[in-house]
Structure 1
Amino acid sequence: MKKDSKIYIAGHRGLVGSAIVKNLASKGYTNLVYRTHSELDLTNQQAVADFFEAEKPEYVILAAAKVGGIVANNTYRADFIYENLAIQNNVIHQSYLH
């Protein structure tokens, strides 16, 4: 990757995503793109398509996920897997298309 390549980091506020942003920035990457959940709902297929069409990132790093503690993970298993599959499917599909 070039230092000025447009890199979209999905999940930039999480444990993994924030470490990736910090690492890339420390290595001189200057064109990092990210959106908060309120700015871009990654479970919304059309919103993700619109974002990719507008931003056209050259590289995509997918570190986004719905997470919870042990109790939430056990209580809402189906909800978590459903949302996480929607996130990954939307981001990966739009990465492929663009």
Structure 2
Amino acid sequence: MNKTAKIFVTGHRGMVGSALMRRLKAAGFDNVLTHGRNELDLLNQRDVTRLLAAERPDYIFIAAAKLGGIQAHNVYRADFLYQNLMIEASLIRGAHQADT
């Protein structure tokens, strides 16, 4: 990857996303785009597509996910799976629609 490439990291405040941010910074990547969940709902296809069309990232790293404790995952298995799949699908479709 080119050091000047625009990289969009979702879930940048989480365990995986923050580790990825540290690695990118250490490797000299400084054109990294992030949006917290209060700025962008990754389940909202229209908003995701608009953002990707406006920002045109070269790479997207998906580290965002719906998380909960052991009990929550046991009780709401389908909900967690659905929301996590929709986050991924929203980003993939948005990138395709934005031609990025």
TM-score range, shorter chain: over 0.9
Q: How many residues align?
A: 98
Q: TM-score, normalised by structure 2?
A: 0.93
Structure-to-structure mapping, 1:49-60, within 5 angstroms: 49-60=49-60
| Alpha-carbon separation, structure 2, partners of 1:56 and 1:26 | 23
Gaps of 5+ in 2: none
1:8 equivalent in alignment to 2:8: yes
Q: TM-score, normalised by structure 1?
A: 0.94
Displacement after TM superposition at 1:94 (Å): 2.0
Give the superposed CA RMSD: 1.0
1:18 equivalent in alignment to 2:34: no
- State the percentage of identical aligned residues: 46
Gaps of 5+ in 1: none
Q: Secondary structure at the match of 1:20?
A: helix
**How big is each residue's C-alpha offset from its partner over 1:19-50, in whole Å with a ceiling of 9 and x where there is no partner?**
00000001110100010001000000101001
| Alpha-carbon separation, structure 2, partners of 1:9 and 1:57 | 10
| Alpha-carbon separation, structure 2, partners of 1:89 and 1:31 | 24
Cα contact 2:49–2:95 (8 A) shared by 1: no
